[in-house]
Amino acid sequence: MADSAPVSTYPGQYCPLAKAAEMLGDRWTLLIVRDLLTGAHRFSEIARGLPGISPTLLAQRLRTLERHGIVERRRTGDARPEYWLTVVGQDLTPAVLGLGSWAARHFGHEPSPDEMSSSVLILWIERFLRAELLPSGREVARFDFTAPRRESRWLLIDRGEATACDEDPGRAPSLLVTTDLRTLHNVFAGRVSMRAALRDGSLRLDGEPEMVRAFPRWFGVSPFAEDTRVALRRGA
């Protein structure tokens, strides 16, 4: 008696685009794919890059992606579970880049304060830096934000690997980056060059000379930075 017909999101149309929208259109889903594409694999890592998502919801989204064959949950021994894109999921790369590029080209305005967080930004810096140019020893870089809130974030460097950190790791930093959130975000997004930010003093580097010299080299920009730059040139 009960009509248990599974109501599809878009009834009456089997179209590949509708299928894609159905699988990726839920809130957060596309950003989860983005984070998996850029190197986040553990539950807490993904959650950290998505301020505002609840554990329940993230778990549910991951399960749905797994059911669709886009994500694979790996559990090796009693190690922590990891989430990896399947071949199908990896094949989303061009489409995801296309969407982001489109937005960067046309909606690359400066973010408002509530659209940025130092915690997420430091995570992105970790994800996109050029690891092969990182100092080889153990180092700590501290980022002191002067605005919109005075707060600090850290990047722990150890044998060519970097880890973003929201809490003081205790060790004395060998590099100090003093700036405001807007500036560092603009540099990351490709809206302002590191060189220009250093020149006008909106970004300042202090600490061991070797670290100061290396930072602009290993600091990486967003994958959409070039799109943003092109859009700015055209707009100006």
Of 44, 74, 81, 91, the one binding its own copies (CB under 8 A) is 91
The CA R_g of the chain, rounded to the nearest whole Å, is 20
Tokens, residue 129: 């830096």
Give the x-and-dash track for 75-94 against DNA (CB under 7 A): -----xx-x-----------
d(CA 201, CA 178): 9
Task: Please report whether residue 74 would count as binding DNA according to CB under 7 A.
Answer: no
The SS3 call for residue 137 is: coil
Segment interacting with its own copies, rule: CB under 8 A, options 39-47, 56-64, 100-108, 155-163: 100-108
Task: Give the nearer residue to its own copies in terms of CB position, either 135 or 153.
Answer: 153
Per CB under 7 A, 44 contacts DNA = yes
212 binds, among DNA, its own copies, none (CB under 5 to 8 A by kind): none
Nearest CA-CA partner of 58 in 31, 80, 78, 18: 31
Residue selected from 8, 20, 38, 42 as contacting DNA according to rule CB under 7 A? 42
User: Smallest distance from the beta carbon of 210 to its own copies, in angstroms?
Assistant: 32
* Partner residues linked to 151 by β-bridges: 145
Q: Which residue blocks in the chain are alpha helix, DSSP H?
A: 16-24, 29-37, 43-48, 55-67, 87-90, 93-106, 118-128, 181-189, 194-199, 209-218, 225-235
Residues 6+ apart with CB under 8 A from 232: 108, 191
Selection from DNA, its own copies, none that 55 binds (CB < 5 to 8 A by kind) is DNA
Chain residues in the site for its own copies (CB under 8 A)? 5, 8-21, 23-28, 30-31, 34, 49-52, 68-69, 88, 91-92, 94-96, 98-108, 111, 114-117, 119-120, 124, 185, 189, 222, 224, 227-228
